[in-house]
Amino acid sequence: MSILTVEKDKEAEQVFIHGTPEELKWLASRIIAIANEAEKSGSSHDHFMTEGWGGNELTSELQGKKESHGIVNHLVVYGWAKNENS
C-alpha cells in the first residue's frame, strides 16, 4: 500500500510527512525536478493533492493518529532560481 500523507498540528506550526519508502523517493524526485526547472527557467512549482481535492498524490487518512493533527489536502512546492531578497 502506498502512503504519502501531509499532516499539520492544530496551530499549523508543524508539518508532518508520512510515506512509504517508495512514495518518499517519488516525492524526492519531484522536488529535484522542481529544483532543476527553477535553475533553468527561474522558477517552478508543483501541486500535490488528496483525491477529495482533485488529485491522487496525497492520501487523506491520518497516519500520526493524533487527534490534534489535521490533513493537508493541497501541498504546493515552489522552486526559485534565487532568493527575491538577495
86 in any annotated domain:
no
Q: What percent of the chain has pLDDT over 90?
A: 84
Domain that holds residue 72: 4-80
Instruction: Provide the number of structural domains found in the chain.
Output: 1
Res. 86: pLDDT tops 70: no
- Assess whether pLDDT exceeds 80 at residue 75: yes
pLDDT for 7 beyond 60? yes
- Alpha helices (H) along the chain: 21-41
Residue 37 placed within a domain: yes
| Burial class of 72 by CB neighbour count within 10 A (0 to 12, 13 to 18, 19+) | buried
Which are the contacts of 84, defined by CB distance < 8 A and separation ≥ 6?
none
pTM above 0.75, yes or no: yes
Helix extents (H) in 12-82: 21-41
Q: What is the pLDDT of residue 53?
A: 97
For residue 46, the cross-strand partners are: 77
In a domain, 85, yes or no: no
pLDDT, residue 26, reads 97
